[in-house]
Structures are given as C-alpha cells and as structure tokens.
C-alpha cells in the first residue's frame, strides 16, 4: 500500500492531531518556531505525550522535528493548521452574526465545530455571511488556501493624548477580558478618544460613545488593537 500524501493523510487526522496543529500555528514565534515544552504547557499534556504526537505529525510530513530543537510546521502543516483556524473563526462569526451569540460565548462551540470534515459546510457558511475577512474578535480569517492577511494594527496602549482611534481587534480574547469589555460597552468598531497617557504606569484616560472620561490600565489597553 502506498502512503498517502501529507494533505490527504491530514484529512483523516484526529481531533487531537488537529488541536496540536492549531496550537503550533498559534504559538509560533516570528521564525515559526515552537518549543516542545511550550506546546505541552499550552495543551495541558506531559512533554513525553507531546513528543510522541509531534513525531506522528512529522511522519505525516506536517512538522519538522529534531530532538532537542524547536518545532516548525512544514508548508503542508502550516496550510492544514491555517484551515483549522479558518473553520474556527468562520464558525465564531456565524454564531455571532447569524445566531445572535455574544462574542464571549462562541469559542467553546467553535472548538467543537472546527473538526467537522466537510469543506462544503464551511464554504456555505462563508457564502451566507458574505465572505467575512475577520472573526468577531477582529482576528483575520485565513482564505481557502490557508493564507492570512496581515493587518496593520497597533495597541491602544501605544496611543497618545489627542488621538481618536477605532477598535479593530483584540490581542487577547480570553473570556474574562471579553466580559470586561462587555461591562464597559466596548466592542469592535467602537471609537475611542485618548485624552491623556500617564507617563508613570502607561494608563490612559479615554472617552467613547456614552461614556465620559474613564481610566484604562496599561494591561487592558495592551489587549486592544486599534486603527
């Protein structure tokens, strides 16, 4: 029996294998590298278990693996990982736009639906929404070829007094941070005016629709991407 080419072998991947690929593309540094220890921490598994799975992915041609060296996705592996991300983010957008879920509710549901193997299902979802380019948190949705569009955003914490900016994404979309923004009635496309930046701790005095001047910590401002 002839071995399947990597991309066809991936179509038979398990949920666990897909989760590893998604973690690898998410954790990759500027050079595309990920330490095995970082991968195991992110997935909540022991390092030997992570090593075992990574070797399996390497045998399928999806990961470059050498003992004691950082991991890197192969071109096939990166495309496969990006397509999982695509399914996840399309699902999140569909849940918000078409089903009325809050942006803080969609991640665990998308975690399940992203493993559906039908390309037609996600193509139809994409079409129904008019081909969105970002998810509800402003993160780019990869195209069908697995390509990401690079966005030119900056952090709210980098802004100075007198600037008016628009929220276009989040650097972190943890559930507690999404609830934090909900409580303050901030969302994508909210327009913020920065009045003052505190030199000592980087906190910002800002205002936005329906709210007079309020103070935002640097920790919160670091997580908000603006244009």
Q: What pLDDT band is residue 152 in, cutting at 50, 70 and 90?
A: confident
In this model, does residue 126 exceed pLDDT 90? Answer: yes
Q: Quick one: pLDDT at residue 2?
A: 43
Do you know the residue count of the chain? 227
Token pair 């629709």: residue: 209
Using alpha carbons, list the distances in angstroms from residue 188 to 22, 61, 106, 172, 177: 24, 38, 15, 13, 14
- Identify the structural domains of the chain with CATH numbers, from first to last: 1-151 (1.10.10.10), 154-226 (2.30.30.90)
- pLDDT for the residue 112: 96
Q: What is the mean pLDDT of residues 136-162?
A: 95
Q: What is the pLDDT of residues 75-103, one digit of tens each?
A: 999 999 999 999 999 999 999 999 999 99
**DSSP-assigned beta bridge partners for residue 225:** 155, 169
Q: What is the pLDDT of residue 4?
A: 44
Q: CA-CA distance, 149 to 146, in Å (whole number)?
A: 10
User: Contact 168/177 with Cβ under 8 angstroms?
Assistant: no
Asked if 74 contacts 68 with a C-beta cutoff of 8 angstroms, the reply is: no
Q: What is the pLDDT of residues 21-63, one digit of tens each?
A: 999 999 999 999 999 999 999 999 999 999 999 999 999 999 9
Beta bridge partners of 207: 193
Examine the pLDDT at 11 and tell me if it is beyond 90. Answer: no
- Interior angle at CA 73, CA 174 and CA 68, nearest 5: 95
Question: What is the average pLDDT across 172-190?
Answer: 95
Instruction: State the SS3 of 44-76.
Output: CCCHHHHHHHHHHHHHCCCEECCCCCCEEECHH
Check whether 151 has a pLDDT greater than 90.
no
Helices (H), ranges, the chain: 6-10, 15-27, 36-43, 47-59, 75-97, 107-113, 119-128, 175-183, 218-222
């Amino acid at each position: 029996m002839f071995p399947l080419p990597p991309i066809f072998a991936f179509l038979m991947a398990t949920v666990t294998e897909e989760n590893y690929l998604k973690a690898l593309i998410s954790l990759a540094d500027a050079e595309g590298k990920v330490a095995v220890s970082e991968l195991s921490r992110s997935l909540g598994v022991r390092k030997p278990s992570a090593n075992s799975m990574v070797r399996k992915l390497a045998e399928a041609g999806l990961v470059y693996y050498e003992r004691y060296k950082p991991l890197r996705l192969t071109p096939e592996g990166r495309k496969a990982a990006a397509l999982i991300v695509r399914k996840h983010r399309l699902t999140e957008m569909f849940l918000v736009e078409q089903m009325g879920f809050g942006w803080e509710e969609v991640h665990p549901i998308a975690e399940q639906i992203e493993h559906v193997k039908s390309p037609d299902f996600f193509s139809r979802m994409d079409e129904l929404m008019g081909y969105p380019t970002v998810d509800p948190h402003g993160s780019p949705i990869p195209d069908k070829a697995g390509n990401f569009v690079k966005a030119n955003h900056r952090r709210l914490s980098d802004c100075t007094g007198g600037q008016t900016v628009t929220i276009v994404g989040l650097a972190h979309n943890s559930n507690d941070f999404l609830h934090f923004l909900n409580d303050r009635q901030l969302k994508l496309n909210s327009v913020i005016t920065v009045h003052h930046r505190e030199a000592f701790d980087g906190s910002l005095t800002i205002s936005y629709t329906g709210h007079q001047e309020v103070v935002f910590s640097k920790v919160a401002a670091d997580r908000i991407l603006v244009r």
